[in-house]
Amino acid sequence: MPRRGSALEIAARLGFGARGVVYCLVGGLALLAAFGAGGQTGGSRNALRSLLDQPFGRALLGAVALGLACFAAWQAIAALLDADRHGTSAKGLAVRAGQGLGGAINAGLALSALSLALGWGSGGGPEDQAARDWTAWLMTKPFGQWLVGLVGVAVAGTGLVWLWKAWRGKVLDRLSLPADARPWAQSMGRLGFAARGVVFVIIGGFVVAAALHSNSREVQGLGGALRTLETQPYGWALLGLTAAGLLAFGIFGFVQARYRRIDPPEARDAARAIDRGIDALRR
């Protein structure tokens, strides 16, 4: 059974649950769109806006915003203090860098959800436009096209890693699951990681194309990736399968919230982890 207690552990579990809610919304809405039953092929922000139409929608958005903020904090701390014990090898540092980036993304999504909950605006612009904005900004920097291209390769590479993880079925490594729950949880996790892998490969491909053509307008976010699938031959089937996978990943997020092993480092261990990380970056 998972250990309970620390504030950081509670925050992490709330965060995994909040991420599960977001993916359930994205996947569920896209699944409805695939079969012509309403819904939408939008990204996370559009999915969060859909909560406003529900009873107690603003309260639900506030709860999701809190959970996403907790998840952002957990990812930032995990990256900095190596809470998941990835180490300071090249692979470990890359994973921790991904956690840090994920923390920044979820912090932005938490702010969008909070803005919607408090009626401060539309919760930010569409995700596709936000991706184009940062791409355009990065392209103005020295070696900007190369940097954008590297980002695209990294995003697509992350997607390929998730596809490989889904293929191998190693999705339960950090979970302390009862034996009778492992088969269905593994199925949910494999389908979920495969769907995330597909959309990240597509998103990364768009970013690489933008770098090659020096055109930030070619960049697409999650919603753009789903719409791309929808416009292919048998697009409804491709979109439906991917949407079902994203919904499965959302459900898997609830499993992670309950059963993931979370062992935050003690203060002394945290200081040592920071020192090791700094030494590794200097080498």
> Quick one: pLDDT at residue 273?
52
d(CA 134, CA 157): 20
Q: Is residue 1 part of a domain?
A: no
Classify 71 as helix, strand or coil. helix
**DSSP per-residue string spanning 91-104:** HHHHHHHHHHHHHH
> Quick one: pLDDT at residue 3?
46
Q: Is residue 144 part of a domain?
A: yes
Q: Rounded to two decimals, what is the model's pTM?
A: 0.86
d(CA 204, CA 95): 17
How many C-beta neighbours within 10 Å does residue 200 have?
22
Angle, CA of 14, 19 and 22, to the nearest 5°: 130
d(CA 29, CA 133): 26
> Quick one: pLDDT at residue 20?
96
**Number of domains, the chain:** 1
Q: Is residue 12 part of a domain?
A: yes
Under 8 Å between Cβ of 200 and 159:
yes
φ, ψ dihedrals at 202, nearest 5°: -65, -45
> Quick one: pLDDT at residue 81?
83
Nearest to 219 by CA among 151, 140, 277: 151
Q: Which residue has the tokens 């919760």?
A: 123
Under 8 Å between Cβ of 191 and 166:
yes
Classify 237 as helix, strand or coil. helix
Residue 85 belongs to domain spanning: 7-282
In a structure prediction context, what are the per-residue pLDDT tens digits for the chain, which is 283 residues long?
444 458 888 999 999 999 999 999 999 999 999 988 777 787 888 889 888 888 888 999 999 999 999 999 999 988 888 888 888 888 888 888 888 888 998 998 999 899 988 888 655 556 777 788 888 898 888 888 899 999 999 999 999 999 999 999 889 988 999 999 999 999 999 999 999 999 999 999 999 999 999 888 899 888 889 999 999 998 999 999 999 999 999 999 999 999 999 876 654 455 555 556 556 555 5
> Quick one: pLDDT at residue 278?
55
> Quick one: pLDDT at residue 170?
87
Under 8 Å between Cβ of 160 and 201:
yes
Classify 1 as helix, strand or coil. coil
Q: Which residues contact 150 (CB under 8 A, 6 or more apart)?
A: none
Q: Is residue 235 part of a domain?
A: yes
Q: Which residue has the tokens 């190693």?
A: 170
